[in-house]
Structure 1
C-alpha cells in the first residue's frame, strides 16, 4: 500500500504549479487592463464632445499624458512576465534536480550479480549460525536457546524460498522482463530477511556468551579432544575404503580425512590462544580465538562424520548391487513382454555392472546410480529394491555435496548452492534419481569454483584451509575475523578493535 505521504506529494506539487500559473495570468490580465484604460479614455471624449477647431495646441499634453499613463501598466506587465518566467525556471530546476538525483535503473547483469551475492552471503550466514549453535547448546538451557534456534529456522526457510525463486529464474521463468526483475528483487528480499532475523539475535547471543567464556572454552576443548580421536579413526577408515573399493573412492574419502586434520591443527592453535587470552583477562581476544576454534572443530566434525557415513553407505550399496541387478533385469523383461519401449543402452549398462562385480574393486554407489538411471523411465523402476537403491544413491550424493559446500563455502558460488538446494527439494518430492543427478552436478560446479578460486597452499597453522572453509572471513592477511552467529551485517563483528 502506498502511504498517504507519498500519495499526497504529486497533488501538492501540481497545486503549486496551478497557483503560479494563475498568478502569472492574473498579472498579464491586469497589465492588459492598464494598457486599455488610456485607449478607452482617448476614445470617450471623441464621442461625447463636439469637434474642436483648435486641436494643435493640445497635442503635446495628450502625448505626454499617454506616455505617463503607459508607464504603470507596462511595469505591471513586465513584472508579471518576470514572475512567470522565474516560476517556470525554478520548477524546471527542481524537476531537473529530481531526475538527476534518482538512481539509475540496474541493468539485468547488475541485478543478476546482486542476487548471486545475496544468496552466497545469506547461505554463509545461515551455515555459520548453525555451526555455532551446538556449542551454545552445551551452555544454555533449551528455553533460553529456543529464540536462536527459531531464528536459524526462519532464516533457513527464507533462504530456501530464495533459492527456489532463483532456480525458476535460471530455468527461464518468468519470461516477461518486468516479472524477471521482480523475481530477482524477490531473491534479494528473501535473503535480506534471512540475514535480518539472524542479525536481530546476534547481540543477545553475544551477551549470553560473554558471561560464559570460561565454560565455553572448556566445552570447545572437550569437543576438540573427542574429535581428534575420531579423526585418527577416519584415516584408518579411508585406507580400508581404498583397499576395498578402489583408488578413486579411497582418494575422495582420504581427502576428507586430511582436511579434517587440517582443521584440527588450526583449532589447536586457536584454542591455545584463547586460553592464554582468557587467563590474561583479554576477553575480546579470547572470544575471537574461541569462535575461530569452534568453527574449525565444527567443520572437522562434518568431515569426519562424512568419512564414516560414506563407508557405511558403500557397504550397504555393495550388498544391494546384486539384488538391484536382478530387479533391473526383471523390469526390462516385463517391459519387453508388455511392448513397452526399453531405454537405449540399458542392457549394456547392466552387463557392464555385472562385469565389474567380478573384475576387482569398484564403486558400488556408482554402480547403483547407473542401474537406476538406466531404468528410470520404466514403470517398475520405482518399486522394491530399485527404489531402495535410488534413495540410497540420492542421499549419498546430496550428503557428499552438502558436506563439500559446507567446508569450502569461502570459495563456492551461487550456482552449486542453488543446485544443491534444488536437489534437496527434489529428493523430498520424492524423485531420488533426479535428485542424485542434480547433486552430482552441484558437486562438479563447487569443485570448479574452488579450482578457479585457487586451492590454498598447505600452511603449518591451517589458516588457509580455515579461510577456504569460511571459518575465517578472509578480510585481512591473517585470515580476518571469525564468522559468528548472525546475518551479513553482524557475522563479521568479532574483529580486533570492535570490542
Structure 2
C-alpha cells in the first residue's frame, strides 16, 4: 500500500484532473458502476452534484486533508451493480491502492445505499465513532436525498476526530505539495485559456434553460464547434474500442456500447443541423430550440465518453507488455510500407485519380514514418522505465497506423469509373468520402461531418426502400449522392485552408491532419507520466475534454 504522504501528493494531482473532467463526469448518463480505481477525491459519474454542491464537497475534502493526516474520498454512483455496499467499497479500495490514512464514502443515489469505510490505523476514528457518524449524519442525509450534505457532514465529523495533525508532517512534504499546487495551477490556466479562446463566456457553462436565452448568433457557431469536437472524439473512441474488442473480446463490450450510443446521439444532432442548414426551420424560437438540443445532446455524449476514459485505460493498459506491443506494431508498419509501391503503380494506370484518394499514399507514408519514430521513442522510454511515455508512444504509433491503413486500403480500391446516382455507386461514393474525412478528421469541420452523416443516413434509407418503393429509393439515393459531394467539397476546403497556414515537416503536420495528435494541456517533451509532441499528444478513448490526457500523465 502507498504511504499517506505519497497519497497526499497524488490527491493534489488528482484535483487537477477533476478540474478538467468534473463537468463531464457530472453530465454522464446513468449506468451501474462496477468497482473502479478512484482517479480523484470526489468522483460523481451519477451526476448527483451540481456545481455549487461539488464545490462544497471539494472544500470539505480539502478541509479534512488540511486538518489531519486523513485522505477523504467521496464517490457517487447510481447503484453498486448488485454488490453489497461494503463489498463495492472494499473492491474499489483495493483497486485504488489506498493506504492506512484513506477514508472512503460511497453513495448509490438511485438505491439510497451507502458505505463509509476507514482503516483501523486512523487514530480516534473508532468503530463507535463510525457508527455514530453513520447514524447521526450519513444515514438520514442519504435517505432524504441530500447527497452533498451527507458528504459534507461526514467530512465535518472527520475533522473533529482522529488523524495526525497536518502541522506534524515533515517540511519536505509541504514543499512538494506547494510545488504540485503551483504546477497544477499553471496547467489549469493554460487549459482554461485554450478552452475559452476568444469568448469571455462559453455556452457550455450554461444550463439548457440558460442556453435557451442566448442569442442565435452565439448558439449557431457553438453548435458547429460542439458537433465537430464530439464527432472527432467519437471517431477516435471507436478506433480504440475496436482494438479493445479485438484484444479482450466481450470484456470491452461496455465501451463498444458507449461508442454506439454516442454515434446515435451525434447522428441525431447532425440531422438537426442539416435541417437548419437547409433553412427548413425559419421560426427563431424553433431554431433556438434545435440549437440548444444539438449542444446539449452532443455535450452529454461527449461527457459520457469522458466519464469512461479512465476505466478504458485501466482495461486496455497500453503500458503492459510494452515490448510485445511495440514489436507487433513495428511488424505491421513494415508490412504496410511494402504495399506502397504496388499501390502507386496501380494508381498510375488510372486515367485520373479520384478526389477521395488524392494524396492518400503520401499521407500514409508520412504517418508510417511518424509511427516508426514513435516506436523508437517507446523503446527508449521502456528502457528508461518511463511508463507514461511508453503508453504515449504506443498510442501514437497505433493511431498513425490505423489511419495509414485506411488511406492505403482506399487508394488500393480506387478506380476511375464515373459514378452514377444508382444505389451501388452512391454507397461507394459515401464510403469513399467517409474515408477521406475520417483520415483528415483533425482539421475537417462541422459542415463536412454533417453532410456526410446525412448522406450515410439517406443511403441507408434508400437501400431499405429499394425493393418496396424503388422510385422513392432512387430519389433518396440521388439526395445522398448530392450530400456526399457537398461533404467532400467542404472537407477538401477545410484541408486546403488548414494546410495553407501551416509550416513544418510532414512528420509534424500529418499526424495532426489525421487526428492522431491533439492539443495537450501542457507543452513539453516526452516525460514519465506524460507524452507530448511539441504540445500535442495522441488522441485517446473519451470525449473532447480528456482526449489529450496522455500528454499530462492521466493515462499512467
- TM-score when normalising by structure 1: 0.60
CA distance in 1, matches of 2:405, 2:430: 18
> What is the aligned partner in structure 2 of residue 407 from structure 1?
439
| Aligned counterparts of 1:419 and 1:113: Cα–Cα separation in 2 | 16
* Greater relative contact order, per chain length (Cα 8 Å cut-off, separation 6+): 1
For the 8 Å contact 1:135–1:294, the answer to whether it is kept is no
- Match of 1:305, SS? helix
Of 84, 87, 106, which residue of structure 1 is paired with 2:214? 106
Q: Looking at secondary structure, tell me which structure has more helix per residue.
A: 1
Please say if residues 394 and 427 of structure 1, whose CA atoms lie closer than 8 Å, have aligned partners that are also in contact. Answer: yes
Contact 2:448 2:490 in 1 (8 A): yes
In the TM superposition, residue 135 of structure 1 has moved relative to its aligned partner by 2.9
- Of 250, 258, 263, 2:367 maps to 263
CA contact (8 A) 1:423 1:438 kept: yes
The answer to whether the 8 A contact 1:474-1:481 is kept is yes
CA distance in 2, matches of 1:218, 1:168: 49
Return the match for 1:280 from 384, 390, 396. Answer: 384
* Cα offsets for 1:99-152 (capped at 9, x unmatched): xxx999422121011100110010011011112123323432x22111111111
**Structure possessing the higher radius of gyration over alpha carbons:** 1
- 1:218 corresponds in structure 2 to 324
Query: Equivalents in 2 of 1:177, 1:398: separation in Å?
Result: 33
Query: Which structure has more strand as a fraction of its residues?
Result: 2
Structure-2 change in CA distance of 1:445 and 1:103 (3 Å)? closer
2-side partners of 1:139 and 1:155: how far apart?
22
Change (3 A) 1:287 1:410: same
User: Distance between the aligned counterparts of 1:239 and 1:130, measured in 2?
Assistant: 32
C-alpha spacing 1:406/1:205, structure 2 compared with 1 (3 Å): same
TM alignment of 1:88-487, pairs within 5 A? 105-140=213-248, 142-210=249-317, 213-215=319-321, 218-219=324-325, 221-243=327-349, 245-249=350-354, 253=357, 255-310=359-414, 314=415, 363-364=416-417, 366=418, 368-369=419-420, 372=421, 390-430=422-462, 431-455=476-500, 456=502, 459=505, 462-475=507-520, 476=523, 478-487=534-543
Contact 1:463-1:479 within 8 A present in 2 as well: no
Structure 2 spans left out of the alignment, 5+ residues: 1-209, 463-475, 524-532
Structure 1 residues 262-317: Cα deviation after superposition (integer angstroms, max 9, x where no partner): 1111111111211221232111111112111111111111111212232xxx3xxx
Map Cα deviations across residues 351-375 of structure 1 (whole Å, 9 max, x no partner).
xxxxxxxxxxxx31x2x42xx4xxx
Distance 1:231 1:111 in 2: 45
What is aligned with 1:17? Answer: none
CA–CA distance in structure 2, aligned partners of residues 293 and 422 of structure 1? 32
Relative distance call for 1:393 and 1:189 in structure 2 (3 A) is: same
Query: Quick one: distance in 1 between partners of 2:338 and 2:517?
Result: 25
Distance in 1 between residues matched to 2:262 and 2:323, nearest whole Å: 27
If the length of structure 2 is used for normalisation, what is the TM-score? 0.54
| Structure 1 residue ranges without an equivalent (≥5) | 1-101, 315-362, 373-389
Cα contact 2:245–2:253 (8 A) shared by 1 = no
The DSSP-based 3-state class of the residue aligned with 1:281 is: coil
Q: For residues 470 and 479 of structure 1, do their structure 2 counterparts lie closer, same or farther at Cα, with a shift above 3 Å needed?
A: farther
CA displacement at 1:196 relative to structure 2: 2.1
CA contact (8 A) 2:448 2:491 kept: yes
